[in-house]
Homo-oligomer: A and B are copies of this chain.
Amino acid sequence: MQKSLSVYDSDGSTFAPLVVIELVSETKEEAIAWLLNRVRDKQQDGGAELLVEQLTPGAQGTEKDNPNVYVVGASWQRLLYGAEDVGLFKEFKDGSMRGFTYANKHNFKEFQGDGDGFLSMAECQYIIKHGLDNLRAKDEAHVPGYPKMKLYPGKSVIRRMQSKGILVQVFPLHEKEELKRLSFSWFKKIKLSFQPLDDIRHYFGEGMALYFGFLEYFTLALIPMALIGIPYYLFDWEDYDKFTVFAGFNLVWCTVILELWKRLSASLAYGWGTLSRKKAFEEPRPGFHGVLGVNPVTGRAEPLYSNAKRQLRIYLLSVPFVLLCLYLSLYVMMIYFDMEGWALMIHDEEPTFWTGLLLFIPSIIYAVVIEIMNLIYRYAAEFLTGWENHRLESTFQNHLVLKVLVFNFFNCFASLFYIAFVMQDMVLLRQSLATLLITSQILNQIMEAFLPYWLQRRRNKKAHKRMIKTMEDKELPLSEQVKLEADMSTYLGTFDDYLELFLLFGYVSLFSCVYPLAAVLVVLNNVTEVYSDAFKMCKVFKRPFSEPAANIGVWQLAFEAMSVIAVVTNCALIGMSPQVKSYFPESETQLILWVVGFEHFLLASKFILTFVIPDVPKHIQIKLSRLEFESLEALKKRKMLEASGIPKTAK
């Protein structure tokens, strides 16, 4: 980490500002003083033992600026202890990854001198966030000055202030020099190369790096498919019955790439030290509310909410709501088919150029409507999942992902399934697939990168000018930088990015055999996606806190579910191809039985493959077992020493 910026702390010594806390401008003095004291207090007194100072407004500061902006840093000592506390894994002298401990610090590979530079800035910021999040109320009944802002022993102070709205935001600062280097190697270089995943992880953390790793892996995995697809598309344009081989290829492809990704992701996570990291005990999420009671696990006072009530809310409201939305989506789909038929009728009556154009209108409208419905549903799903009042952030996320996934899948693919299996019209399927894919890609690129960028430009033209200046002027004062970054949009996590990949994976794995160009389109989309995502992370959004992650989590499951559906779909498409049908000229029943048998065989093989291929590569498995064995041995040795010592006195 470079100490390019520094502020003076109360002792007069300087510290590097890492994290910014912004309170609303009218916050009461006593609340601020109390919070700052708690942040500065020693850890054994229940404080966070961090350094915090009010940001002194720079030369360009105006009256309008919020004065309640604070920068937080920490001593190296505190950061190193914090690294042990959050359970950071670092490379040991012998090349293995081990949990960092302060006592053992000199045995870690990159630890030199007093350890300056041992932790990346993102790690330091994560440690500070952990310290702030774990700042808990002691005996305070409420936040000083705010009698309504109730506290109870053990409640996270920062979370309560955030949920009650006096804490506007807590965000980590960008590091201009490093960001510049990262931007250059990531998306400013013209040369074709892999993404600098280690640098991304260094700057943005493991969760983000895994997303970009998966995006790159997915793109590379698509290339063979695209290469096979192009000649298919060029030479067999009107020959719809040659897709059996392609469907077979699809089947194998989508199983194999997901299994290999698991292994690759384990390798990455091992190298980044998150693979064997233990999860800390999860605290209730900020939005969780309930009657104050005693948590049966921790024995601490905490709001409790009956699980039965939550289940009732889920099954009596959320599930019917989702089903209703699915029905609505089906209804819209039917309207689309009516429109399609109506356009076709007009075109057939009097074919002109304009009616020819009219033929494309329903598909485009439908694609736009799908995107809008997905967007609206997303808000409804978030609201509903919040209302279900889940205790943990992880359960909340799982329920949200499930809701959104089911609807988006249905919304995007229902019409294609209808065309493929009810209408059995391969020409229309190909046409719809192409329209849906291209329209949704264009819409996505606009919504995702250009819209936020443009909105921000509009919202804060002045700030933008400053930002441009930032790029050139390294000597921008801290107060200016903080103000600039505070105004940037907040990155809401990788959810939408993964969702987009999930739908693209669906288009490719489910139906690409009828439209071999799909893989090519997705590859092109992904390449621009890398650039636009990289751009938005570096230029559009506030720096996010790094999120330690060992895998892509629930998304692995979602992609695997999709690959199972792909097996079923591709088998059905194979069964419907005239090529295969010609083998069973007499009996359709025979054909169906064979296809169903083949499909069951494939599903069983897929299941067995998942068991047979180990999720973690052998060499990493050995390293992990070695660590485990060593800790077992150490425990045994310790016990043996105790045992040989105590009996003599006990006897």
Q: A residues bordering B, Cβ < 8 Å?
A: 42-44, 77, 81, 84-85, 102-103, 280-281, 296-299, 307, 568, 588-589, 592-593, 596, 600, 618, 622, 625-626, 628-629, 632, 636, 639-640, 642-644, 646-647, 650-651
Could you pull out 8 A-B pairs where Cβ atoms are within 8 angstroms? Answer: A77-B647, A77-B651, A81-B639, A102-B642, A102-B646, A296-B622, A589-B589, A592-B596
A281 pairs with B632, CB closer than 8 A? yes
- A622 / chain B contacts, CB cutoff of 8 Å: 296-297
Known: A44-B640, A589-B588. A297 touches B626 (CB 8 A): yes
Assembled-state Cα–Cα distance A131/B298 (Å): 37
Assembled-state Cα–Cα distance A209/B528 (Å): 61
**How distant is A81 from chain B, measured CB to nearest CB, in Å?**
5
A297 pairs with B589, CB closer than 8 A? no
A103 pairs with B650, CB closer than 8 A? no
A-B CB proximity, top 6 nearest: A297-B625, A297-B626, A44-B644, A296-B622, A588-B589, A81-B643
Could you say which of A297, A568, A592, A626 has the most chain B C-beta atoms within 10 Å of its C-beta? A297
Closest to A604 in B: B564
- A632 / chain B contacts, CB cutoff of 8 Å: 280-281
- A644 / chain B contacts, CB cutoff of 8 Å: 42-44
Please classify the interface of chain A as helix (H, G, I), strand (E, B), loop, or mixed, using the class held by over half of its residues: helix
Return the contact of A77 from the options B42, B85, B650 (Cβ within 8 A).
B650
- A298 / chain B contacts, CB cutoff of 8 Å: 626, 629
A44-B644, A297-B629, A589-B592 are known contacts; what are 11 more A-B pairs with Cβ within 8 Å? A42-B644, A81-B639, A84-B639, A102-B643, A102-B646, A103-B646, A296-B622, A297-B625, A297-B626, A299-B626, A568-B600
Assembled-state Cα–Cα distance A286/B299 (Å): 47
Known: A102-B643, A593-B592, A643-B102. A629 touches B281 (CB 8 A): yes
B588 pairs with A643, CB closer than 8 A? no
B85 pairs with A639, CB closer than 8 A? yes
**How distant is A364 from chain B, measured CB to nearest CB, in Å?**
32
**How distant is A341 from chain B, measured CB to nearest CB, in Å?**
25
Closest to A45 in B: B644
Assembled-state Cα–Cα distance A160/B640 (Å): 25
B296 pairs with A626, CB closer than 8 A? yes
Assembled-state Cα–Cα distance A182/B527 (Å): 71
Assembled-state Cα–Cα distance A151/B87 (Å): 41
Assembled-state Cα–Cα distance A258/B44 (Å): 50
Could you say which of A600, A626, A643, A650 has the most chain B C-beta atoms within 10 Å of its C-beta? A643
**How distant is A406 from chain B, measured CB to nearest CB, in Å?**
11
- A642 / chain B contacts, CB cutoff of 8 Å: 102-103
- A643 / chain B contacts, CB cutoff of 8 Å: 43, 81, 102
Closest to A300 in B: B629
Assembled-state Cα–Cα distance A92/B568 (Å): 52
Closest to A42 in B: B644
- A280 / chain B contacts, CB cutoff of 8 Å: 632
**How distant is A526 from chain B, measured CB to nearest CB, in Å?**
30
- A299 / chain B contacts, CB cutoff of 8 Å: 626
**How distant is A566 from chain B, measured CB to nearest CB, in Å?**
14
Closest to A624 in B: B297
- A281 / chain B contacts, CB cutoff of 8 Å: 628-629, 632
**How distant is A394 from chain B, measured CB to nearest CB, in Å?**
14
Assembled-state Cα–Cα distance A629/B300 (Å): 11
